[in-house]
Amino acid sequence: MNLDAFAKLCADHGVQVVEIDLTQSLAPQGPFDVIVHKLSDVIVEAEHDNQSQQLLANFQSYVSAHPSTVIVDPLPAMTQLLDRFASYRLMSKLHNSLRDWRICSPPYLEIHSDTDLPSIQEAVRNQDLSFPLICKTRVAHGSLSHEMSLIFSVGNLADIHPPCVLQSFVNHGAILHKVFVIGDKHFCVERPSLKNFPSGPCDRKTIFFNSHQVSKPESSSDLTALDEKMPCLPPPSSEAIAALVRELRLQLGMALFGVDVIINIRTHTLTVIDINIFPGYEGVPQFFSSLLSHIQSLLLTFNTLVLRIYVFITAPKVIWNCIPAHHLVLF
């Protein structure tokens, strides 16, 4: 992200952006009225890294001591999106809450670390899952979270590495619709995706792939190549996408997230396959202006006269501090 461009945009609206250090106490650097952060790396690393644990503890200590500070987004909400077990449970409920919009998510199975192969094979047979299956890591953030595989038979379940999620693969014409949410605004960007595969088990070897590479705007590979006779799918309904975003904002209590959706080639059902924490917003030229607009709406909501907003965007050691009549900070 071009933070210099965002700093200039903020300056044009009376907001000055400066750097502060997250490794130091936040209190002397504040006070802050709004904190927009991306602490996902720190949260994940805090599971095994003492320095990250301390950074997270310092941040949480400041937030606890300053309850009037608005956090975008709340750490508990972000934590559930870092765990595909939690986010997929949420996705599975969308079928009921959004029934009128014909929105659903594929059947899936949670595979825990201590599950042996025979138990996994039996669970797949007993659940409403259909081959091929797409295998995703439990942790939904970081480079390893993009490493996935397509499993074509019960025998090939030996190729998975728990903890992970097994999700029925839905043919969708090699088109992925990435929905980027910024407060009450959202943007839909079309990306390449996996091609169609015959339904049902077969003796094909497991396909290992990186979802980030497959879905890059310029991606072109055998995995995304479609039969030329494949008819064009209708685009997702803008009304259905809006309903999905409203429901997820309500359920998540978040303002900055992404949703991966596809169109089932057989039923034309809008199918949610993943929810992403603070995505890259690639292909959304209005990101900075929309983020600033959301921040301004927070100010109006909380009747803040003097604002300091901290937005934590990338490196956990850097915070961007914005000062004016409105005081914004970017982590």
Does the annotation flag 175 for ligand binding? Answer: yes
Does the annotation flag 178 for ligand binding? Answer: yes
Does the annotation flag 161 for ligand binding? Answer: no
Does the annotation flag 274 for ligand binding? Answer: yes
Does the annotation flag 38 for ligand binding? Answer: yes
Does the annotation flag 193 for ligand binding? Answer: yes
Does the annotation flag 171 for ligand binding? Answer: yes
Does the annotation flag 280 for ligand binding? Answer: yes
Does the annotation flag 95 for ligand binding? Answer: no
Does the annotation flag 126 for ligand binding? Answer: no
Does the annotation flag 37 for ligand binding? Answer: no
Residue 187: count other Cβ atoms within 10 Å of its Cβ: 18
The C-alpha atoms of residue 236 and residue 188 are separated, in whole angstroms, by 9
Does the annotation flag 176 for ligand binding? Answer: yes
Does the annotation flag 287 for ligand binding? Answer: no
Does the annotation flag 89 for ligand binding? Answer: no
Does the annotation flag 266 for ligand binding? Answer: no
Does the annotation flag 154 for ligand binding? Answer: no
Strand 270-277 and strand 103-104: the pairing is parallel
The C-alpha atoms of residue 185 and residue 183 are separated, in whole angstroms, by 5
- Give the distance, in angstroms, between the CA of residue 6 and the centroid of all CA atoms in the same chain: 22
Task: Give the amino acid at 261.
Answer: V
Does the annotation flag 30 for ligand binding? Answer: no
Strands (E), the chain: 15-21, 34-36, 70-72, 103-104, 108-111, 133-137, 147-151, 164-168, 175-182, 185-192, 207-210, 256-263, 270-277, 309-311, 318-324, 329-330
Binding site as annotated, residues for 1D-myo-inositol 1,3,4-trisphosphate: 38, 146, 178, 276, 280
Binding site as annotated, residues: 38, 84, 136, 146, 167-178, 193, 260, 274, 276, 280
Binding site as annotated, residues for Mg(2+): 260, 274, 276
Binding site as annotated, residues for ATP: 84, 136, 167-178, 193
